[in-house]
Structure 1
Amino acid sequence: MPDLTPAQLEQYYKHIHLPQKDQPTNLSSLDEQDQLKCLIKLLHHQLCYVPFENFDLHYSAVKGVSLDPTFLFHKIVTRASGRGGYCMQNNSFFASVLRTIGFRVRSVGARVSRDFHATEPEYSGWSHQVNIVSIGKERYMVDVGFGNEGPTVPMSLSDESKILQTGDSDQAGYYGQVKAVYDEESQTSSYIYQMSRGGTAPYTPRYSFTKMEFLSQDFEVMSFHVANSRKTMFVQNVICTKFLLAEDGKSIVGDITLNNNVLKERRYGKSEPLAEIQTESDRVQALEKFMGIKMLPEEIAGIQGLPTELKSQ
């Protein structure tokens, strides 16, 4: 994806409510520790102001997902309607932001676990995108497109420490870990992102990825399948997640997540419903009230006749 212009970068900072003091101007002037702090701050604000959502497949007359850079910038930033995208949209967009600032970014593919409760998972084909960001000799996995169980901090590829993702350090916290795996038979290395709900719950894999760079053409093919196969969760469900930033802006404390007609807020591990959703009107109003997402009339009408439409009783 091409770099953003200075004006576009300024628009983006304003859109994600990034304080002026935290807006990087010259990454090369920062040491590695400050570069990592910069990356964390950008990641937090991206997750909290650009939602993970698949509305292009439901609230749209076209029912298609575009990875075009110009389209993504308009939808996410220029429209100022609270919209985001699913994994390949959000992660390719965020990669362009990071490259513009001066980070070294490699976009790679991932295979998602079919069962998030399995300790020995069966993975799907390539269906997810993550970014690997290099700071000095260290590499970090960064993902802004996996919903409420995705990583909320850069995950080191060389450190298998278990890192608090959201909530606090008691049983309510969500923890993540990146684990390196080496296959003797093929002599290849890969990585697994896994998470635990609470400090004592077992860690179970969410997806597997490698360091092999994927091209934009690869993601176009992957996105076409994800957006068009009737078997995928994105086609079968209307989903959206927006993370919640702590008052001091230093951490993520939870999220607001829509799953079809269920809208919940999870804050410090405690989950509660936000609205009773029975009809399409209920859902559209709840998205605007609780997540700040405003859709155009033609987008709202686009879901009519689909299996995911909520019909009045």
Structure 2
Amino acid sequence: MDTEQTDAYLRRIGIERPAGPTTRALRDLHLAHLRSVPFENLSIHLGEDIELTDKALVAKVVDARRGGFCYELNGAFAALLRALGFDVALLQARVYDDTGEPGIPYDHLALRVRTEDGGDWLADIGFGAHSHLPLAFADRGEQADPGGTFRIAEAAEGDLQVLKDGKPQYLVDRRPRALADFKVGAWYHRTSPDSHFTRSLVCSRITGSGGRITLGGRTLTTTVDGERRTAELTTEAEVLAAYDRHFGIVLEREPQLRPSERT
């Protein structure tokens, strides 16, 4: 990313260029990204390509003003952080399912970010409802966050287990990976009937108040101070207006689950 692209990305998330790759800067960038760029899987249901290159991911987030799922969001965020002088490693993780079993390798992409003043951090702006701020990578105690109470625990064979409010979220391999390594995981989640991304429509971001707004299919859910409210949208026009109003996403047609994917 050159200076012009970096500045455009910073404008996209509404934050000024930091003076240096500091812990405070990382925290500010992480939170600003979560507030501005939604976690969404709309490309899967619009028949759009998902290309795992820095250029394509940054173009989607910045130029097209879209969001994405983990590979896209954390991939683009890594490109921004590197352009700002941070030391970034891509980490592969396996997400725990409802039975407590970890999923496929390269199920998820998370980031290890090194700052010039504060050691290593686990940054993840691509896991939906997760931590609002980076987690201290070496801290094995509880870490309070606006999104919940998190803990990073040692696991077998050198892996790390990330827990939220005591519940395991994903298992992280500490070895750095390349963006191209995640192509198989992205393909699986785009195509497999076993992937929750092919079986659901989601677009979600945190709000400035620390709440969350989510459009799941035609159900609009807002959470403020722990109070959850839902509204059912009844027409395509209402759905498209909601994408635009709440997420800044302008679509020509409503994303639709194929009949075989509906649950």
Q: Is TM-score (shorter-chain normalized) higher than 0.5?
A: yes
Task: Judge conservation of contact 2:57–2:75 (CA < 8 Å) in 1.
Answer: no
Task: Judge conservation of contact 1:287–1:293 (CA < 8 Å) in 2.
Answer: yes
Instruction: State the secondary structure of the residue aligned to 1:205.
Output: strand
Which consecutive unaligned segments of at least 5 residues does structure 2 have? none
Which consecutive unaligned segments of at least 5 residues does structure 1 have? 28-34, 167-173, 197-202, 247-252
Residue 309 (structure 1) shift: 9.6
Tell me: CA distance 1:223–1:138, structure 2 relative to 1, closer, same or farther (3 Å): same
Q: Say what the alpha-carbon RMSD is for the aligned residues.
A: 2.2
Identify the residue that residue 293 of structure 1 maps to in structure 2: 249
**Match status 1:277 vs 2:233:** yes
- Displacement over 6 Å in runs of 4+: none
How many residue pairs get matched? Answer: 260
Structure of larger gyration radius: 1
Task: Judge conservation of contact 1:260–1:308 (CA < 8 Å) in 2.
Answer: no
Instruction: State TM-score, norm by structure 2.
Output: 0.91
- Measured against aligned partners, the alpha-carbon deviations of 1:238-268 in whole angstroms (never above 9, x if no partner) come to 011111124xxxxxx1211122222111122
**Match status 1:235 vs 2:206:** no
Residue 113 (structure 1) shift: 0.8
Task: Judge conservation of contact 1:54–1:240 (CA < 8 Å) in 2.
Answer: yes
Task: Judge conservation of contact 1:165–1:175 (CA < 8 Å) in 2.
Answer: yes
Identify the residue that residue 111 of structure 2 maps to in structure 1: 131
The aligned amino acid for 2:9 is Y
The aligned amino acid for 2:200 is N
Residue 304 (structure 1) shift: 5.7
* 1:1-313 map, 5 Å: 4-18=1-15, 20=16, 23-27=17-21, 35-58=22-45, 60=46, 62-79=47-64, 81=65, 83-115=66-98, 121-126=100-105, 127-135=107-115, 138-148=119-129, 150-166=130-146, 174-183=147-156, 188-196=157-165, 203-246=166-209, 253-273=210-230, 275-295=231-251, 297=252, 300=253, 303=255, 306-307=258-259
The aligned amino acid for 2:163 is Q
Instruction: State the secondary structure of the residue aligned to 2:52.
Output: coil
Q: Percent identity?
A: 26
Instruction: State TM-score, norm by structure 1.
Output: 0.77
Residue 179 (structure 1) shift: 2.4
For 2:260 and 2:4, the matched residues in 1 are separated by 38
